[in-house]
């Protein structure tokens, strides 16, 4: 059953059919057609990789959706002899070399792990009972090695500049909670990644909250984002004059995080932040400047009143009766009203969820309800390590008229496999306090870590 609401508030239900005794969540995140991103790490060849990173550069890798490839496949000549180096004091250079050598060792370890080939598709890590299957992970060994290297080495410096509430805080309730929770964890959490020694850091975090900028700086209904951009611009100016780190890589080893729809626009306040830095964004719209080579897709998690919906906190009971084939959760942008005419007006109105990301995806995962993702421009969270096709169904937008047919064609076996997949990835989408290994906090960090690994220092 696809349930939608028309613009005048009348509920319209399109009954599909009752096939399985379980449901499938249809998550319509974005209504646009375009070619999928096929090439990762196409640095210097497209219009996007334009950023002029002088002392650091992204590794180029074989085309493919696997971000590990950059780490794994590229040749890695140490390049510690450029002229930029001479501006760095000897002690700083030594510290930096040590840091880079650590990163190089991590890369080598990951590459080695990835190169092991056996006929078995499942690896079992015996220490703690973790089972990582190649059905779910693009490269389970590479992921596990990379995760361990991250735990062992990764250090993040959090800038202390800036005042509350715009910096060092963020919303921990409702739809922007991914933003506040992450900032709070970095500022006050017990995780092992934060370092107070800026010289020992691999990446530098700019702990401002775009959601709070919208709350405190934005003049409602004006759609005027200049105050947000100015704030971001001032903040980058502040940290780049007070500290040497930004100028060293023009922001390539710096990251910001936002779950607000306007996160991407706010980062336009500084061209290098936009084009060079790692931006961790819920609004991961690849046709709006989101660059999966360097940016990270952040899952949107809706915390009602500050906590996960109690109904979703525990995995559902195994034999719960689910009478509907599918339910519709999500929105279509009103002005985007393209090509839904075939399925009737019912689908062209708006629910909520105007931007690419939608908390419905994570809710579907919590509820073990297979997400059906109808979106072309959305870069799915953690898609650099997870095979989304192992636990979701992706339907092209032009196939929406055939939605019923497509969902009905999913065999019982396939359905059982997808559910199994959901159960194994669930932990990667769960927010814990305190944080727990492999949970969403660590997965976000791992995405940042991967992008840092793929940054080659040519200092
Ligand atoms: C570093 O030195 C080597 C050999 O002296 C040279 O081939 C290479 O081009 C230099 N690299 C840079 C970035 O200057
Ligand atoms: C692994 O597969 C290859 C080819 O598929 C086969 O030749 C080889 O004998 C297999 N090895 C083992 C240990 O099963
Ligand atoms: C970084 O570069 C900017 C612009 O070129 C300059 O104003 C600033 O002083 C530099 N920062 C440091 C710490 O040298
Ligand atoms: C990012 O780079 C592109 C290509 O060089 C440029 O057109 C654009 O203005 C830059 N973005 C920002 C926000 O400066
Ligand atoms: C995604 O980006 C495209 C291109 O800029 C834009 O037209 C569209 O509105 C964006 N989609 C959403 C849902 O924001």
For residues 109 and 396, the model is more confident at: 109
Residue 37 — very low, low, confident or very high, per pLDDT cuts 50/70/90?
very low
Region 4-17: mean pLDDT is: 31
Using a 6 Å cutoff on CB, does residue 194 contact ligand 1? no
For residues 398 and 167, the model is more confident at: 167
- Dmax (CA) for the chain in angstroms is 71
pLDDT digits (tens, 9 = 90+) for 295-330: 999 998 877 665 655 555 555 555 544 444 444 444
> Residue 442's closest CA among 143, 118, 66?
143
Q: How far apart are the first and last CA of the chain?
A: 58
Min mean pLDDT across 31-35, 141-145, 245-249, 291-295 is at: 31-35
- The helix or strand, by DSSP H or E, that contains position 70, with its residue range, turns out to be helix 68-73
* Cα 459 to middle of ligand 1, angstroms: 11
* Cα 65 to middle of ligand 3, angstroms: 36
Which pLDDT score is estimated for 20? 35
Say yes or no to pLDDT of 124 above 60. Answer: yes
Which pLDDT score is estimated for 55? 45
Global pTM value: 0.76
> Residue 257's closest CA among 381, 135, 127, 352?
381
Region 393-409: mean pLDDT is: 82
Region 124-145: mean pLDDT is: 80
If you search the block for the tokens 């995080």, which residue do you land on? 257
Using a 6 Å cutoff on CB, does residue 272 contact ligand 4? no
pLDDT digits (tens, 9 = 90+) for 423-445: 889 999 988 888 899 999 999 99
* Residues 7-31: b if buried by 16+ CB within 10 A, e if exposed: eeeeeeebebeebbebbbbbbbbbb
Strands 254-258 and 278-281: parallel
Query: What tokens were used for 300?
Result: 């949107």
Bridge partners, 370 (sequence order):
24
Using a 6 Å cutoff on CB, does residue 80 contact ligand 1? no
Region 237-256: mean pLDDT is: 93
**326 near 1, Cβ under 8 Å?**
yes
Residue nearest to atom 5 of ligand 4 (CA): 50
* Cα 117 to middle of ligand 2, angstroms: 10
Atom of ligand 5 nearest to the CA of 377: 1
Region 224-252: mean pLDDT is: 93
Residues 6+ apart with CB under 8 A from 20: 322, 325, 412, 415
Which pLDDT score is estimated for 186? 93
What lines the ligand 3 site, CB under 6 Å?
A: 240-241, 244, 247
Which pLDDT score is estimated for 370? 82
Residues 6+ apart with CB under 8 A from 70: 40, 41, 58, 59, 60, 61, 453, 454
For residues 50 and 284, the model is more confident at: 284
For residues 402 and 76, the model is more confident at: 402
Ligand approaching nearest to the C-alpha of 350:
5
* Cα 215 to middle of ligand 4, angstroms: 27
Which of the listed residues 44, 225, 267, 275 should we mutate to test ligand 4's pocket, taking the one with most ligand atoms within 8 A of CB?
A: 275
pLDDT digits (tens, 9 = 90+) for 276-297: 999 999 988 888 889 988 999 9
> Residue 58's closest CA among 291, 290, 285?
291
Which pLDDT score is estimated for 222? 84
Which pLDDT score is estimated for 355? 43
* Residues 424-435: b if buried by 16+ CB within 10 A, e if exposed: bbbebbbbeeeb
Say yes or no to pLDDT of 202 above 90. Answer: yes
Which pLDDT score is estimated for 39? 23
**102 near 149, Cβ under 8 Å?**
no
**In whole angstroms, what is the distance from residue 122 CA to residue 100 CA?**
32
Which pLDDT score is estimated for 218? 85
């Amino acid at each position: 059953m696809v349930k939608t609401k028309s613009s005048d508030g009348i509920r319209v239900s399109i009954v599909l059919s009752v096939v399985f005794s379980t449901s499938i969540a249809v998550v319509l995140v974005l209504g646009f057609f375009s070619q999928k991103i096929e090439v990762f790490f196409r640095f210097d060849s497209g219009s996007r990789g334009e950023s002029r990173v002088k002392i650091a550069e992204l590794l180029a890798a074989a085309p493919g959706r696997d971000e590990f490839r950059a780490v794994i496949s590229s040749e890695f000549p140490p390049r510690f002899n450029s002229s930029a180096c001479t501006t760095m004091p000897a002690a700083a250079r030594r510290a930096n070399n040590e840091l880079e050598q650590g990163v190089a060792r991590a890369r080598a370890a990951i590459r080695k792990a990835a190169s092991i080939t056996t006929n078995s598709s499942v690896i079992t890590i015996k220490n703690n009972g973790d089972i990582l299957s190649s059905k779910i992970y693009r490269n389970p060994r590479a992921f596990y090695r990379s995760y361990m290297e991250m735990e062992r080495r990764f250090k993040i410096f959090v800038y202390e500049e800036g005042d509350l509430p715009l910096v060092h805080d963020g919303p921990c309730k409702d739809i922007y909670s991914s933003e506040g929770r992450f900032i709070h964890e970095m500022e006050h959490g017990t995780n092992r990644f934060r370092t107070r020694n800026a010289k020992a850091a691999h990446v530098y975090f700019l702990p401002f909250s775009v959601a709070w900028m919208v709350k405190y700086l934005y003049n409602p209904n004006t759609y005027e984002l200049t105050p947000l951009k100015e704030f971001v611009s001032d903040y980058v100016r502040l940290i780049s004059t007070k500290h040497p780190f930004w100028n060293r890589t023009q922001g390539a080893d710096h990251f910001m995080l936002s779950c607000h729809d306007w996160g991407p626009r706010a980062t336009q306040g500084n061209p290098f932040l936009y084009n060079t830095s790692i931006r961790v964004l819920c609004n991961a719209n690849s046709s709006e400047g989101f660059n999966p080579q360097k940016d990270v897709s952040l899952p949107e998690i809706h915390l009602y009143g500050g906590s996960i919906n109690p109904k979703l906190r525990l995995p559902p009971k195994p034999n719960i009766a689910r009478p509907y084939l599918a339910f519709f959760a999500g929105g279509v942008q009103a002005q985007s009203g393209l090509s839904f005419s075939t399925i009737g007006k019912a689908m062209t109105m708006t629910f909520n969820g105007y931007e690419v990301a939608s908390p419905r995806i994570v809710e579907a995962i919590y509820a073990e309800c297979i997400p059906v993702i109808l979106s072309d421009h959305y870069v799915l969270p953690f898609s650099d390590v997870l095979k989304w096709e192992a636990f979701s169904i992706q339907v092209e937008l032009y196939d929406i008229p055939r939605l019923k047919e497509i969902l009905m064609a999913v065999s019982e076996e396939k359905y059982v496999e997808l559910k199994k997949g959901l159960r194994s990835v669930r932990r990667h989408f769960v927010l814990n306090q305190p944080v727990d290994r492999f949970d969403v906090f660590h997965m976000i960090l791992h995405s940042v870590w991967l992008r840092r690994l793929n940054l080659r220092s040519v200092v």
